[in-house]
Structure 1
């Protein structure tokens, strides 16, 4: 059960970094 939450946190962190990269790339277009 704890490993499930650990993986969920890892995925969330990766998603956040991905969104951050997308955001910075989009802001450069403006």
Structure 2
């Protein structure tokens, strides 16, 4: 596995978590 490819993968997972967290925060009633 290429190191640069792995870096992109980890960054992609990071953004996925960020989006999920943002959606949960937005959907939750304030």
Please classify the TM superposition score into its range, dividing by the shorter chain length: 0.7 to 0.9
Q: How many matched pairs? A: 29
TM normalised by structure 1 equals 0.81
Gaps spanning 5+ residues in structure 2: where?
A: none
TM normalised by structure 2 equals 0.81
Structure showing the higher helix proportion among its residues: 1
The list of structure 1 runs, each at least 4 consecutive aligned residues, that deviate by more than 4 angstroms after superposition, is none
The alignment yields a C-alpha RMSD, in angstroms, of: 1.3
